A and B are shown apart, each in its own frame.
Chain A
Amino acid sequence: MARWFPDGMPQPMADAEALPWWEAASEHELTVQRCSDCGHMRLPPAPVCGECQSFDLHLTEVSGRGEVYTYTIVNRPIAMDQQVPFIVAVIALDGAPGVRMISNLVEIAPEDVTIGLAVEVAWEDMSDDLAIPRFKPAGG
């Protein structure tokens, strides 16, 4: 199992709305929240649909492909033993119009990152119950 970030990275925090997303992630399922009534999709998950105010919401799996919408290259370590620079990117997810998520780019040099780059999810198992979706160049 590939590891790119140290154990000491900040751990996710979740409430009851967000926890199922992290539980799916632990099974390497990348999901977005979808409204059962109007189909609107969003991240992070919320208790109510912002388009039709339905409370009938569920998580739906997406392909894990997407493209880099914007990014930054961070030169200050966040955790002990962390290598810098590291890349934080906003990923526009395929199959979920308008939905973007914050993540990291791995398996790519900072100088090669461009907006519009096609990427795919790369799971990092931080422990038995925690997997973090990072992204790497598609087909790489």
Chain B
Amino acid sequence: MGKAQLVGVGESAYAKWGKIGDVTEHALACQAIVRAVEEAGLSMSDVDGMTSFAEDRNEGIFLAAELGLAELRFSNMVWMPGGGGGCAAVANAAMAVEAGQAEVVVAYRSLCQGQYFRFGQGGPPRENPTLESPPPTVQQAANPMLASLGFTMPYGLLNAAAAYALPTRRHMHLYGTTSEQLGQIAVTFREHASRNPRAVMGQRPLSLEDHQNSPMIADPHRLFDCCLESDGACAVVVTTEERARDLAKPAVTVMSSAQGTPKGYAFGPFSNASVPDELYATGATESLAKRLYAKAGVGPKDIDVAQIYDHFTGCVLMQLEDYGFCERGEGGPFIESGALAWDSGSLPTNTHGGSLSEAYIHGLNHVVEGVRSLRGESTSQVEGAEVCLVTSAACVPSSALILGRS
């Protein structure tokens, strides 16, 4: 059995947080899946598997029934909340087709936070504490993960901007990384977004000065170091090499995939401040990167274009070091060299604009862009690109893919 192939991509409209009110998050998931299957030249009755991640509110078994799958043979949801599992959802789909568990699997993610509650608030809005409120005390945790977060929440460490600021601040301390270097990441991805009609921020140019003048959210994270919050959905169709041969679009090969986390990591800066010292100011993806490259038989020098999960600029920088594009601590100067810019840089990155400028669909849109960039369909197309790295959220349990032109 050959390598799994990515044969269709689809997405809903992308919009700013809370701007999609007339279509449910649930319907957006269905839209993205229908479009991806149509793009592949397949029909819904061909689909027999569903995968997602980050506790997507739309479980595969329900979507399968609603979309009219003839038979669901594989359904899988990657671990826990957070964007670390996006590439793993695609990898699990790939493993399912390679193992013969299913033949056509759709990986999807729908995210319309405005219809539920915002990340970083720890749940629905709390009532204003009044004199009648019972005195503060220890609450029963509904599960062990929440008991672990009990060691962060009372200190007000609730939102991702603050949690991921912790390793980034230490990176700055250890290596002299600067806010301007972080800002250059945001500016570069915004420039890429300016050519992408899907990008939520495509019409909003960003200069380094704008970045430096933007409000401090959680030091060192300024507003423009933080990804967008978006409404939207996207999907990717995965099938076997044999099935991919006569479909509508050129197939893209899953050359390798890897997922996981080093010893003792748990939920990283959110839940476990005691991760090993040598990992703290990293994306915690160096060991994963080694496995990923080894399986694909390529190295960092072979990567023509990269789609790197950009929840925060500092996490991009630390991943560039983890994935071997520069030495540990050299991420800042590497960025300053212009490496990430299309089309002059040595590693054009986030050619769609990323989560900082296209949309925050928990990084599954990075896989979609990875496919487009190898088909020659990107709006910031790297000429002749043959190998693309796609990563998912770092500094937490993560996953990644190396995709190749078939």
Contacts and interface: CB of A to CB of B under 8 A. Distances in A.
Interface of A: 5-15, 17-19, 22, 42-44, 50, 69-76, 78-80, 82, 85-86, 88, 90, 98-104, 110, 115, 126-130, 132, 134
A88 B166 contact: yes
B355 to A, nearest CB: 20
25 contacts: A7-B129, A7-B133, A8-B128, A8-B129, A11-B137, A12-B150, A12-B151, A13-B147, A15-B143, A43-B151, A43-B273, A44-B271, A50-B263, A70-B173, A74-B218, A75-B216, A80-B129, A88-B166, A88-B218, A90-B273, A98-B274, A99-B274, A103-B155, A110-B219, A132-B155
B273 A22 contact: no
B344 interface: no
Contacts of B122: 10
Interface string B157-198: 111001001110110010000000000000000000000000
Contacts of A22: 138, 150
A90 B273 CA distance: 7
A101 B126 CA distance: 26
Contacts of A6: 129
Contact of A44 (B126, B148, B221): B148
B58 interface: no
Contacts of B2: none
Contacts of A73: 216, 218-219
For the complex of A and B, 6 pairs with smallest distance between CB atoms: A127-B135, A72-B165, A13-B141, A70-B170, A73-B219, A15-B147
B contact face: mostly helix, strand, loop, or mixed: loop
A11 B156 contact: no
Contacts of B263: 50
A19 B129 contact: no
Nearest to B144: A15
Interface residues of B, number: 53
B284 to A, nearest CB: 15
B136 interface: yes
A72 B218 contact: yes
B153 interface: yes
B154 A12 contact: yes
Given A7-B136, A10-B158, A12-B151, 8 more contacts: A8-B128, A12-B139, A15-B147, A70-B166, A75-B219, A76-B218, A88-B162, A90-B273
Contacts of A15: 140-141, 143-144, 146-147
Contacts of B27: none
B42 interface: no
Contacts of A115: 169-170, 173
A69 B263 CA distance: 20
A125 to B, nearest CB: 10
B152 interface: yes
Contacts of B126: 8, 79
Given A13-B141, A18-B141, A103-B155, A75 B150 contact: no
B139 A11 contact: yes
Nearest to A91: B273
Contacts of A82: 156
A45 to B, nearest CB: 9
B156 A13 contact: no
A128 B141 CA distance: 20
Contact of A128 (B135, B154, B169, B173): B135
B123 to A, nearest CB: 9
Nearest to A8: B129
